[in-house]
A and B are shown apart, each in its own frame.
Chain A
Amino acid sequence: MIKVEGLTKRYARNVAVDDISFQVAKGQIVGFLGPNGAGKTTTMRVLTCFLPPTAGKASVAGFDVLEQPLEVKRRIGYLPETPPLYPEMEVDEYLTFVGKLKGIPSREVPRRVEEVVERCAIGEVRKRLISKLSKGYRQRVGLAQAIIHNPDVLIMDEPTSGLDPKQIIETRSLIRSLAGDHTIILSTHILSEVEQSCEQVIIISRGKLVATDSVENLTNRLRGSEAVAVEVASPGGSLNEGEVQTRLEQVAGVSRVLPKGARDGHATFEVESLQGRQVRAELARAVVGAGWDLIELRTVGLSLEEIFLQLTESESKEKDAAVAVEGAQ
């Protein structure tokens, strides 16, 4: 559905997107993951024909963004980071305007407005001025605007940023409910968001493509060396931290134990395991077997920065290895 080949976008001084290629199949939800300033927004703007690429090709549903922008725009719904709303309009009026702008025949506009109002749960504010809406409602009106013409492709730039937790959950379930009919690309810098709503993930950092994989594979790859936080207490009240650490280090598969502090007979450790080893059960048994209380045992999620580090490190190592081999020959 979406095809990007060697896409590069250069501004006067800096390169925002550097030679990115990827493909998205029909009906998929793809997460576009990267820290701020990685080039997510720029890539999306190229796909929506807002910005022309400096080099490379991008096409949506077989139409090139440079050669047939009108055809591409007809098939794309776009929700920018700040929803493009006219504060002086009422919600209904705004959606009617966007519906006509997107080329829906006038007769069908009211029906489509009705549908998206229901789908995005904005029925109670539809007669209100947009300037009077809360952030959560604005986001939903923005989403309603993006899907009003039933586009093949839906592109959303950080759809959950700035929302409260309840609104985030609602927005995510709304996005998931749209999955069947639309191909969706959403950008985010929150890892858990990708895990929860996407099937496929594209990771970019500083304008370069770092990884593109299914979410499952990626999590497995990263879970390979998981970190576990362990909190141990002694029923007696006094706990020898060193003793616990030695005991934990003896558990099979553990590569490193880091003490994270002790207080009032409680001690916390971060345990790292070898690649592909699940050590949580063993750890629990070891602690309880030694007569201590196991207060907490949880896997520590890797932060986005750590993932980038891991992914970029492993890739540069491979490259180094390749260079070394070439040099040897």
Chain B
Amino acid sequence: MKNTWIIARKELKSYFASPIAYLLIAFFALIFGFGFYTATRDFVRFSFQAQMMGRGFPMNINEQIIRPLLGFASTVALFVIPMITMRLFAEEKRTGTIELLMTSPVRDIEIILGKWGAAMALYTSILVVSAANVGILFAFGQPDWQPVLVGYLGLLLQGGTLLAIGAFISTTTRNQIIAGGVTFFVCLLLWLMSWFTAFDTGWWAQVVSYLSIVTHFDTFAKGVLDSRDVVFYLSMTFFALFITSRSMESLRWRA
């Protein structure tokens, strides 16, 4: 546990020692801010129109701003995650520092959890900075706060799974660019898989759509805390971290 913390701290320091952390935070804040701006502008326009027409059109901030915004954030996160995970193991393999970690009295799983934990922390700070936008809604309106929390929990769970998958991919190469590229491709593929139910309603489309990480986010975006989806994310994260540890083990046999 202590070792995990030592490694996580080192990883976080190197994220923030290079421009990468600040760039990602800025990039995400900008895109999220744009999404927030359009969603809020449309909401305000609609509510004016509804008033002028004299119809009591039920307007709901949670349903009309926060829900699409969270969905948007979950998609943008797919682009951010490869950039967080690509260097985790690939860089250590390239510079040879992996030899230091693997010959220190530390378990492989502690190294993996430390690195994944640091990636989670960076991802969380990216979300926290962007949450300033949502804060504005609370300052000028009265949205329900529970669905917002559930939505953010969903973003964290989805991010945790994808970060674990990215960490696994990073153990398979010593080239950061390849690790980032492949992770990006996998994220894109998962996103595309979520559309399969639109083409076909057969059982296989259901399966493909179920396996797409992104589909499970919908319930969270609605503000519904469904244990099935929580279990799905947690078990996927666990599985990805497990194959990461197998991959690290195989480094010893092949290296």
* A and B form one complex: yes
Give chain A's interface residues, CB within 8 Å of chain B.
11, 45, 48-52, 70-71, 73-74, 76, 78, 80, 82, 84-89, 93, 97-98, 100-103, 145
B96 contacts the other chain (CB 8 A): yes
User: CB distance B96 to A84 under 8 Å?
Assistant: yes
Among candidates A87, A97, A100, residue contacting B95 with C-beta atoms closer than 8 Å: A87
Per a CB cutoff under 8 Å, which of B18, B100, B252 touches A88?
A: B18
Given the known interface contacts A50-B255, A88-B17, A97-B6, the answer about A70 and B103 at a Cβ–Cβ threshold of 8 Å is no
Whether A70 and B6, one on each chain, are in contact in the complex, defined by CB atoms closer than 8 angstroms, is no
Q: How far is the CB of B215 from chain A (nearest CB, A)?
A: 38
Residues of the A chain whose Cβ atoms lie less than 8 Å from the Cβ of B103: 48-50, 73, 76, 78
* Cβ-closest chain A residue relative to B5: A100
Choose one: A45, A71, A74, A98; the contact of B100 (CB below 8 Å): A98
* Chain A contacts for B14, CB-based, 8 A: 86, 88-89
B254 partner residues in chain A, CB cutoff 8 A: 11
Complex-state Cα separation, A70 to B99, whole angstroms = 15
Considering the chains assembled together, what is the distance between the CA atoms of A52 and B255 in angstroms?
10
CB distance from A198 to the nearest CB of B (A): 22
Please name all residues of chain B whose beta carbon is closer than 8 Å to the beta carbon of A97 when the two chains form the complex: 6, 10
CB of A101 within 8 A of CB of B255, answer no
Can you give 12 A-B contacts (C-beta < 8 A)? A49-B102, A50-B252, A51-B255, A73-B106, A78-B100, A80-B100, A84-B96, A84-B97, A84-B99, A89-B17, A93-B13, A101-B100
Nearest CB of B to A39, in Å? 15
**How far is the CB of A117 from the nearest CB of chain B, in Å?**
18
Of A49, A70, A82, which contacts B96 at CB under 8 A?
A82
Point out the residues of chain A lying under 8 angstroms from B104, CB to CB: 73, 98, 101-102
Question: Complex: how many Å from CA A310 to CA B253?
Answer: 35
Q: Which of B95, B105, B106, B107 contacts A84 (CB 8 A)?
A: B95
Q: With an 8 A cutoff between CB atoms, is B60 at the interface?
A: no
Q: Is B224 an interface residue (CB 8 A)?
A: no
Give the complex CA separation of A71 and B96 in angstroms: 23
Asked if residues A50 and B102 are in contact (CB atoms below 8 Å), the reply is yes
Interface residue B64 (Cβ < 8 Å from any Cβ of A): no
- Provide the residues of chain B in CB contact with A48, threshold 8 Å: 103
Question: Contacts of B99 on A, CB cut-off 8 Å?
Answer: 45, 50, 78, 80, 84
Residue of B nearest to A83 (CB): B96
Chain B residue numbers with a CB within 8 Å of A93 are 13
Which residues from chain A contact B129 at a C-beta distance below 8 Å? none
Are A73's CB and B95's CB within 8 A? no
* C-alpha gap A103/B7 in the complex (Å): 12
A243 → B minimal CB distance (Å): 60
- How far, in angstroms, from A97 to B102 measured CA to CA in the complex? 14
Contacts of B253 in A (CB 8 A): 51-52
Q: Which residues of B contact A86 (CB under 8 A)?
A: 10, 14, 95, 97
A sample of 6 more A-B contacts (CB under 8 A), given A52-B252, A82-B96, A102-B104, is: A71-B105, A76-B103, A84-B97, A86-B97, A88-B17, A89-B13
Answer whether residue B207 sits at the interface, using C-beta atoms and an 8 A cutoff. Answer: no
Min C-beta distance of B5 to chain A, whole Å: 9
Give B1-35 as 1s and 0s: 1 = Cβ < 8 Å from A's Cβ atoms: 00100110010011001100000000000000000
Whether the Cβ atoms of B105 and A103 lie closer than 8 Å is yes
Q: Which of A11, A45, A70, A88 contacts B105 (CB 8 A)?
A: A70
- Chain B 58-92 near chain A by CB (<8 Å), digits 1 or 0: 00000000000000000000000000000000000
Q: Does B101 contact A (CB under 8 A)?
A: yes
Whether B97 lies near A85 (C-beta < 8 A) is yes
CA distance A11 to B14 in the complex (A): 34
Picked from B7, B13, B18, B252, the residue with its CB within 8 Å of the CB of A51 is B252
* C-alpha gap A278/B254 in the complex (Å): 51
Interface centre among B17, B105, B107 (most CB of A within 10 A): B105
Q: How far is the CB of A46 from chain B (nearest CB, A)?
A: 10
> CB distance A73 to B100 under 8 Å?
no
* Residue numbers in B under 8 Å from A100 (CB-CB): 6
Chain A residues whose C-beta falls within 8 Å of the C-beta of B105 in the assembled complex: 70-71, 73-74, 102-103
Contact with A along B215-255 (1 / 0, CB 8 A): 00000000000000000000000000000000000001111
- Cβ 8 A contact of B101, one of A45, A74, A82, A101: A101
CA distance A187 to B255 in the complex (A): 19
A145 touching B96, Cβ below 8 Å? no
Q: How far is the CA of A71 from the CA of B255 in the complex (A)?
A: 22
A78 / chain B contacts, CB cutoff of 8 Å: 99-100, 103
Complex CA–CA separation, A277 to B103 (angstroms): 49
Shortest Cβ gap from B223 to chain A (Å): 41
Q: How far is the CA of A87 from the CA of B253 in the complex (A)?
A: 27
CA distance A27 to B83 in the complex (A): 48
Contacts of A98 in B (CB 8 A): 100, 104
A48–B105 Cα gap in the complex (Å)? 10
Measured between alpha carbons, how far is A93 from B100 in the docked complex, in Å?
Answer: 15
Give Cα A224 to B252, complex, Å. Answer: 44
> When the two chains form their complex, are residues A70 and B107 in contact, meaning their CB atoms are under 8 A apart?
yes
Contacts of A82 in B (CB 8 A): 95-96
Q: How far is the CB of A157 from chain B (nearest CB, A)?
A: 10
10 A-B pairs closest in CB distance: A84-B100, A73-B105, A84-B97, A48-B103, A74-B105, A88-B17, A101-B104, A100-B6, A78-B103, A70-B105
